[in-house]
Amino acid sequence: MNYTGNRKHRHFTSFQVIILGFFSVILLGSLLLMLPLSTRDGNGASFADSLFTATSAVCVTGLIIHDTATYWSEFGQAIILTLIQIGGMGVVTIAVAIAVASGRKIGLMQRSTMQEAISAHQVGGIVRLTKFILKTSIFIELIGAALLMPVFCKDFGILKGLWYSLFHAVSAFCNAGFDLLGVREPFSSLTSYASNPLVNFTIMALIVTGGVGFVTWADIKKNKLQFKKYNMQSKVILTVTAVLIAVPAVYFFFCEFSGLPLGERIWTSLFQSVTPRTAGFNTADLTLLTETGLMLMIILMLIGGSPGSTAGGMKTTTIAVLFSSALSVFRKNDSAHFFRRRVPDSVIKNAATILLMYLVLFLGGGMIISYIDKVPLISALFETSSAIGTVGLSLGLTPTLGMVSRLILILLMFFGRVGGLTLIFAALSERNSYGSAGKNYSRLIKGDNSYDEINFTDRTWKIRTPYCHETG
């Protein structure tokens, strides 16, 4: 807070700016979806339905109460796609990009906010990183659309095929999970393409690409395939991502989809392993899974993607830190380590905090929904994990829920997208040194290397810790 005379001027922290940015876009999207032009019947959607859909789109979740293809008009679908793109790349990223394009100068406060929003390692070079994010996102989405075009143009015609290709490419890369294939059967997602190699491979590649994080892709671009030169965060993200895809795929292959033909069995197993992280598409009827399979998907949805990505959830780095901490206890080591580098205790404490918050909200929300709407607890927990992990997978329960339960899902989606600690710091911090322009950022810009920023928490908050020491 600064004082000029008797007047008090309030300065928003980076956390507050991020939250207000997402809230503003959601509100604007809701108003646009209420227009008669947005729905096929020409009557417009109610505010409650529009709010739910806009929140799901901006938070790149994919939970819906109306089938996207049959309820929303082309204009409404375009609004949803725009909200997905903004939410996927980040409201702050889009705002900074517009400012740069218009020739406006980006100040220290804007740079620090951008750093928080994309989980960058430092303020220096943040504008250059923003340009990289935009160019990379558009390039990958266009490549994905081009790969999908042969299939969709063949099935739906040239014009509709082009629109379907672009829509699903953006939705997949942004890990949103919205689809337009309800024209065949409402809420069917990609089940009609369960055995199509091109659609499966393209959608999975887009999901994984969007889910590993922009900072990781910048690291890969810099160091190519030299894994040893990657920073510790990139190594952890890539390793954990590979494990979380391979292990569930093996389970699904042998235990859930054993009755399918071999080719379809392989693609279906891989796809159901990738999509909970946090895409929301499905190529199998999830209601046919065993409770064990559903529980595995719930765990994957809670974990989510990686810091600085289009995905939500607790993040792969959070789970990696907690696993490493547990392993160090088993081995009776003094501290946890990754790739011969020590993980500070402060990182572990905050990772545990995030886990607790997600579990409380996920379980509490599921229990309330189960009680209010009289639905099985496992089904309610599936929906709440999908919401807080910003996944969008559903057992068909969401459209049948009452207003209170839908409001719970809206809050969980917002929480999962902006991050739990972001919300807490925005509410409790008047002026936070991590999220505002201050001496700590100026030190980083001047080249002070006494701190290393490790994103072992949620998407929009980082822990400033001493450099991890080499061991051995």
What is the per-residue pLDDT for 339?
A: 77
Q: Is the pLDDT of residue 266 over 60?
A: yes
What is the per-residue pLDDT for 421?
A: 62
Domain assignments of the chain as residue spans, ordered by start: 12-465
**Quick one: CA dihedral 393, 395, 401, 405, positive or negative?**
negative
pLDDT tens, position by position, 359-373: 999 999 999 999 999
- DSSP secondary structure code for residue 470 in this structure: B
Q: Is the pLDDT of residue 458 over 60?
A: no
| pLDDT (mean) for 180-203 | 93
CB 60 within 8 A of CB 67: no
pLDDT tens, position by position, 374-390: 999 999 999 999 999 99
What is the per-residue pLDDT for 5?
A: 45
Task: Please compute, for residue 270, the number of CA atoms within 13 A of its CA located in the half-sphere on the CB side.
Answer: 20
Q: Is the pLDDT of residue 471 over 70?
A: no
Q: Is the pLDDT of residue 90 over 70?
A: yes
Mean pLDDT of all residues belonging to the chain: 83
Q: Is the pLDDT of residue 249 over 90?
A: yes
How many Å apart are CA 348 and CA 328, to the nearest integer? 12
| pLDDT (mean) for 16-32 | 89
| pLDDT (mean) for 431-449 | 36
Structure tokens at 413: 């989606």
Q: Is the pLDDT of residue 3 over 60?
A: no
pLDDT tens, position by position, 134-174: 888 899 999 999 999 999 999 999 999 999 999 999 999 99
Q: Is the pLDDT of residue 199 over 50?
A: yes
CA distances from residue 80 to 68, 171, 189, 232 in whole angstroms, order as listed: 9, 10, 16, 36
Least trusted range by pLDDT, from 13-22, 64-73, 215-224, 458-467: 458-467
Band the pLDDT of 10: cuts 50, 70, 90. Answer: low
pLDDT higher at 469 or 80: 80
Band the pLDDT of 399: cuts 50, 70, 90. Answer: very high
| pLDDT (mean) for 127-132 | 78
| pLDDT (mean) for 6-15 | 58
CB 310 within 8 A of CB 211: yes
Helix axes 158-173, 126-156, angle to 10 degrees: 140
Least trusted range by pLDDT, from 86-95, 176-185, 276-285, 439-448: 439-448
